[in-house]
Amino acid sequence: MTKASSAGDIIRELKVGSFASLRKIEHGGTLQARRLSTGAVQLYWRYTYNGKTDRVVVGTYDPTAPPKSLAAGTKGFSLAAAAEACRRMATIQAQEGPDGGYREHLGFVHK
């Protein structure tokens, strides 16, 4: 049996344009990463609302950020900070779900 890949391994192996799930988020959803054509890695919160999947941009992954930092730095997010941002969004989604969910909370119409 092989050892499960770490989030860092998954990011390093990520191909341009591909999404990869990094970890589940408390209250719902998943932290995902996508490698852009520039080589940068964009982080997303992926969740389902009313049977439809949505992704919300969290920000750019900063591999040099302190790994346990829960706040974004000037160059982007550590994985812990991105997971914390996703957790906050998931909490809003859970609270606002009956009233339209996260996108409605932001003033967007969820399609």
The pTM is what? 0.84
Range of the domain at 39: 7-100
pLDDT at 105: 61
**Residue at 108 is within a domain:** no
Residues of the chain falling short of pLDDT 50: 1-2, 109-111
Pairing relationship of beta strands 41-49 and 19-24 according to DSSP bridges: unpaired
**Domain count across the chain:** 1
Q: Which helix (H) or strand (E) holds 83?
A: helix 79-96
**Residue at 36 is within a domain:** yes
**Residue at 107 is within a domain:** no
pLDDT at 2: 45
- CATH classification at residue 36: 3.30.160
